[in-house]
Amino acid sequence: MHPIVTLAKNAIELYVREGKSLPIKTDELTPELKEQSAVFVCIKVKGTLRGCIGTVQPTEPTVAHEIVRNAISSATCDPRFPCVTREELDLLEYSVDVLTPPTPVKDRNELEPKRYGVVVEAGGRRGLLLPDLEGVDTVDEQIGIAMQKAGIPRGTTVALYRFEVKRYH
C-alpha cells in the first residue's frame, strides 16, 4: 500500500477506534507529503462509495495534514452516509487524490473527463467533480454533476476550471 493511502487508512482507523486525530511529525514526512495541495479521500466497500470528502484549495500546511483531515471527514462527515463503524474498518478500500491547482478553462473543449476534474462556479456556489469516474464519460455529464453538487440550476452560465490528480489506491 502506498504511504499516502496508508496515512488515510491509519487516520480513519485511529479516529473511529479511539476518537483521536493521527499526529503528524513533519520532520519525518516524505517530500511529496510536505507539499501543500488540495486532497480528496474516498472510501469504498466492495467497490461501492462509502464516503468521499476533499478540498478544492489546500486548507492545511502539508499534504499529510490535508489527508488526515479529509480522511476523518470522509468517514464521519459525508452527509450522504452514516459514520463509519468499527465493524466496517476491515472492509474499507481507500483512494487518495492529490489535486493540481485548478486553472481557468475558456472553452469546454479544454475539458476531458477521463484526464481532468472540473470545478464550476456561479453566484457564490462552487462544485467539483474528480476525473476518471465510472459512468462519467462526457464533458456535459461532468459539468452537469458538478453543477448539481453545487446547487447551481441547469442553464446557468458557470465559470469552469480544470485540474489533474495523482490518484493513489
Helix 63-76, helix 3-18: angle, nearest 10: 50
CA triple 164-12-21, angle to 5 deg: 105
d(CA 141, CA 29): 38
Indicate if 91 and 12 belong to the same structural domain.
yes
Q: Is residue 71 assigned to a domain?
A: yes
Indicate if 42 and 78 belong to the same structural domain.
yes
Q: How do the pLDDT tens digits run along the chain, 169 residues long?
A: 999 999 999 999 999 999 999 999 999 999 999 999 999 999 999 999 999 999 999 999 999 999 999 999 999 999 999 999 999 999 999 999 999 999 999 999 999 999 999 999 999 999 999 999 999 999 999 999 999 999 999 999 999 999 999 999 9
Q: What is the pTM of this model?
A: 0.94
Q: What pLDDT is recorded for position 167? A: 97
Q: What pLDDT is recorded for position 39? A: 98
d(CA 64, CA 21): 12
d(CA 78, CA 50): 9
Q: What pLDDT is recorded for position 149? A: 94
Where in the sequence is the domain holding 39, given as residue range(s)?
3-99
Q: Is residue 169 assigned to a domain?
A: no
- Residue 101 contacts residue 163 (beta carbons within 8 Å): yes
Q: Is 6 exposed, middle or buried (0-12, 13-18, 19+ CB in 10 A)?
A: middle
Number of domains in the chain: 2
